[in-house]
Structures are given as C-alpha cells and as structure tokens.
Amino acid sequence: MPLRRVIALVLGALVAVPDGARARALIQTDAARCPSVGSKSHGGCDDAVRSLSAPFDMWELARSWTPGFCGGTPGACSKRECRGDGATDALTLHGLWPSYVEATGSRKCYWPQNCVKPRWYPASEPWAFDKTILPRGKATERTAPAWTLDDLGSHEWAKHGTCAAWLDASGETRGMTQREFYNVTFALAETLGTPDALVRAAGSDLSLAEAQAAFGGETRVALGCTRKCVLVQAVQCFARAVDGGVGEPIDCPCVGVRDSRYDNSCAAQCERVRVLSPEQTGCDDDLKLVVAAS
C-alpha cells in the first residue's frame, strides 16, 4: 500500500497531502556542497514553534539497527529491547521528529522540542504521556521494541511529539493529538520496513555507498555509526504536508542532518559499515553469565 494512503487511513481527517516543493527548494542536494558530513553538533529549542514563531517544515524519521545499538552502546545490554527477541535483524523505531530545513532563530535551532499544549488541543485527549494509547499487537512490538519494552515513548512524546501538535505560532490550528502522532509514527515505520540490503548484510558488512543506496543514496539518509563503524541508526527525511502530516520523502538537508555527528557519523569515518546480527550483540552472553553466577 502506498505510504500516502497508509498515513491517510490512520489519520482520518488529517490527510497527508505531499507539499515538498519548499523543502526541496531549500535543500542542497549536491554532495560536493556538503563537505562537513558527520562532523557537526546541532541542537533544538524548547517550545520553538510558539516562542520563535517558527512552524516546523520537515520531519525526520529515526530508526535503530537494534543489534548495533545493543552491541555498540555501553550499558545498552541492560535494556529489555536488547534481550531475547528484542534485538532482531531489522530497523526499529526510535522516533519521528518535527524539524527545520534551515536553522531558525539566533540560537540556530534545528528542531522544536518540549512544546507546551496548544489552544486547539481537545480536553478529551491526553496531553501528558499515556502509554495505553500506543498502537498494540505483535507488529507494534516488532516495529518498536524500545517503546513497548523500555518506555522510550515517554521521552519521544515529551521532547518531539508535543511539537507535532503545533502547526502555527498561535496554537489555534489543529495539529496532531498524541494518539494521532503515535498512529502516524508507527504506520510510517511499518510501511517503510527494512531495506533488503541491510537484512542480507546482517552479521557482515557492506560499503558505505551500498548502505546509503539501500535508502536511495547519500542525500536520502543519514547513517549513525560507532567509532568501530558499527551501524546504529538511520535517519530519513520527509516534507511536512500542507495539513502538517508526513509528506513525501525528500533529500535530507546538508546542514542539520547530513553534517550531524550524531545522525551521519558513518559518512564521516567509515568506508565500510558493520551490520551486527542479533547473535553478535553479546547481550545474551552477559545474561547467561549472570544466571550461571547466581
């Protein structure tokens, strides 16, 4: 089913009509114009849509390669997503982030965060994080183990999801409720799935160019790696639709995404990218040692 149709179905009244012309016009897609890939640090600003009169104009979808996160991040093995069936050879949901194509304000904000409740928000819908309205079922558990097992959703809603409710600085134009934000986020992640090239490479490696090509090329994705070039995360970019929903896929901006040390470190330091398999995380080995010693 086409991505646009999936988002339309889960939103109901909020139909995501692509409107990526402005975003495409602002983004420099020429790789030669992005000489500082994976080398910069960027930040967001609290309640920026309202306080800076700066509506967001794009979305970033961040997904983890869970075996890489579990095996390459100190302390990650303590998380439930890294135990048993949680660390599968697939991309799993980190979060969907309202963002800016260009830095906003004197502080150079690259995304809004920690937004307050807008005026339009219905009293019948929860504003504080409510785990009970997350999508349910086996597909959800596979798509977002960090959300269903380790409560990542509470952080993601507070920091990023709250800003999806803001479409303009007045707070009077309807955006997404918490429930709608979850439905759109999970539907997008489930619809995109995992590129076959990554699944085939699990337990081995592939060239940086091959990894980028799996998502449409170097301008269409930012890949996060550890210092040992273990794949941890993939970030893809989407236009903000005319109604504030998720629009068509777009090239990720050079400044803010592709030059980000957090988002695109693979491009800065790795000729080849290691794609760990679930068996290579070492997390279950640690658990066996604990059980044996108890």
CA–centroid distance for 122 within its chain: 26
- Rounded CA gap, 54 and 98, in Å? 11
10-residue averages of pLDDT along the chain (294 residues): 48 45 54 76 96 97 96 91 84 98 92 98 98 92 92 97 98 98 97 97 98 97 97 98 96 94 94 96 62 30
**Which DSSP state fits 129?**
-
Instruction: Give domain limits for the chain.
Output: 3-293
Q: Write out the DSSP string of 27-57.
A: S---GGG-TTTT-B--EEEETHHHHTT----
Assess contact for 246 and 188: CB atoms under 8 A: yes
Model confidence over 13-58: pLDDT tens digits?
343 444 555 555 555 444 447 878 888 899 999 999 999 999 999 9
Q: What's the confidence (pLDDT) of residue 33?
A: 73
Total residue count of the chain as it appears in this document: 294
Tell me which fold the domain 3-293 belongs to: Ribonuclease Rh; Chain A (3.90.730)
Cβ atoms within 10 Å of 115's Cβ, excluding its own: 25
End-to-end CA distance of the chain: 50
- Rounded CA gap, 7 and 51, in Å? 29
- Whose CA is closest to 176, among 155, 189, 162, 188? 162
